[in-house]
Amino acid sequence: MRNIMKFKLNQKQRNNIFIFLMLLWPVIHFIIFWVYINIDTIALTFQRFDVFSGEYVFYGLENYRSMIKNLQGYPSKTLQYALLNSFLFFPFNAVLLLPISIICAYILYKKVPGYAVFRIIFFLPSIISMVVLTMVFKFSFDSTIGFINPILRALGIEKIIPANGWFASVNTAFPMILLYCLWAGIGYNVVLVTGAMARVPIEIIESTRLDGIGFFRELWSMHLPLISSTLGTLFILSITSVFTVFLQPMLLTGGLPDDRTYTIPYLVNEQVKGGYLTTAATLGVSFSIVGVPFVMGIRYLIAKYMPTYEY
């Protein structure tokens, strides 16, 4: 009996074991799927695949040299376009998509006439598969089966229809991707913003109304500050899209014209699909080196200027 008592754990030990067990699984997961994968990816950037031995062998900085050549536009400007397009998604999301989403969300929140219909219109693209959605979007602008071009012809403005179509002309291809992202992206933001607006205490709203605040003044001076933490989150998410947008250009333009609508994630995806893992890893790691400080900086600014209000 005394021996058994010897092994009895005290409360602190029991707590430690409990914490250890609780953390064990996520830590293992983190080590395998984050630490190992990232270290392996970085290692890949210094290697090449040897077709004889079937092994990855040391290749020095050649992958980086090759990437820098690509950045200089050799043999094509694809990487330059991809870099520019990827970073364009940040101002697009921050300056265009987010403000429009806020306005739409506010309209729904204020229950203007027809708001239920608008809610469906805004939200429908968010629940349909992107493959289907891009197909519908693309077919709408098709030269033979689309309905947009006949409307433009009927309005007498057929001159604006590009000769190579909307998705392969220099002036329209990338804007079409942005238009699609706007159409399909509003719904998600609207749901989050209306949710945040609905949580604003009714007492505050009533007091501002007693002060005779107007429709837009209420949005600008009351709602936006009070939901700033949600907006901050959406802002951060809009930055991460710089690193994730690849399906939209892949399904809509396929990089056309002249590879001008590539994004970095799309390019990485293409490299992986083609089996060029070392090239993809080099691109991904380099892009992260540039992108991570950018994201961290924005996060810092958001935390500083968009504080969370308790109510």
Partner 1 sequence: MKKIIATMMCILMAVSALFMGCRRENYDPNLITIGFAEAGYGRKWLEDAIEDFQDIHPDVRFELEGDPLITHNIQNRLETNTEVRDIFFGLRFETHKWAAMGWLEQLDDLYETEIENGVTVSERLEDYMVGYGKYVTREGEHQYLLPWNSGASGIFYNAKMFREKGWEVPETYDELVALCDEIVADEVNDDANLNNDISPFSWGGTITSYWDFLVQTWWIQLIGTDAYREFMKFESPEVYNPTSPTMAALLEATEAFENLIVKKPQNSVPACASKDHISMQMDFINGRSAMVVCGAWLENEMRANIPEDFEMKLMPTPYLENARKDNNGEYIPVNYTVAGDYAIIPKAAKNKALAKEFLVFMLREEQLQKYLLTTGSPRPFEFTMPDISSLSSCTQGIINIINNSVNVCEITNNQLAIVGRANVWALGDIYRKLLTGTDPNYTAKTYFNEAYTFVKNEWDSWLVQAGMK
Residues that bind partner 1 in the complex, under the rule CB under 8 A: 14-15, 17-18, 21-22, 24-25, 48-54, 57, 59, 62, 66, 75-76, 135, 138-139, 141-145, 161-170, 253-254, 256-258, 260, 274-276
Closer residue to partner 1 (CB): 105 or 168 = 168
Q: Which residue has the tokens 């990437």?
A: 67
Q: How far is the CB of 286 from partner 1 (least distance, A)?
A: 19
Radius of gyration of the chain (CA): 26
Phi, psi of 76, deg, nearest 5: -140, 170
Buried b (16+ CB within 10 A) or exposed e, 2-23: eeeeeeeeeeeeeeeeeeeeee
Closer residue to partner 1 (CB): 8 or 304 = 8
Q: How far is the CB of 221 from partner 1 (least distance, A)?
A: 45
Cα–Cα distance for residue pair 305/294, rounded to 1 Å: 17
Closer residue to partner 1 (CB): 46 or 109 = 46
Structure tokens at 37: 């994968």
Helices 130-140 and 173-198: angle between axes, nearest 10 degrees: 130
220, 208 Cβ separation under 8 angstroms: no
Q: Which of 86, 181, 174 is nearest to 134 (CA)?
A: 181
Closer residue to partner 1 (CB): 227 or 256 = 256
Closer residue to partner 1 (CB): 157 or 198 = 157
Phi, psi of 196, deg, nearest 5: -65, -40
Structure tokens at 54: 């079937």
Residues forming a β-bridge with 47: 58
Q: How far is the CB of 70 from partner 1 (least distance, A)?
A: 12
Closer residue to partner 1 (CB): 60 or 225 = 60
Q: How far is the CB of 38 from partner 1 (least distance, A)?
A: 19
Q: How far is the CB of 162 from partner 1 (least distance, A)?
A: 7
308, 229 Cβ separation under 8 angstroms: yes
Phi, psi of 49, deg, nearest 5: -85, 125
Which residues contact residue 232 at a Cβ distance below 8 angstroms, ignoring those fewer than 6 apart?
302, 303, 306
Closer residue to partner 1 (CB): 5 or 145 = 145
Closer residue to partner 1 (CB): 238 or 271 = 271
Q: How far is the CB of 242 from partner 1 (least distance, A)?
A: 24
Which residues contact residue 251 at a Cβ distance below 8 angstroms, ignoring those fewer than 6 apart?
130, 131, 134, 135, 138
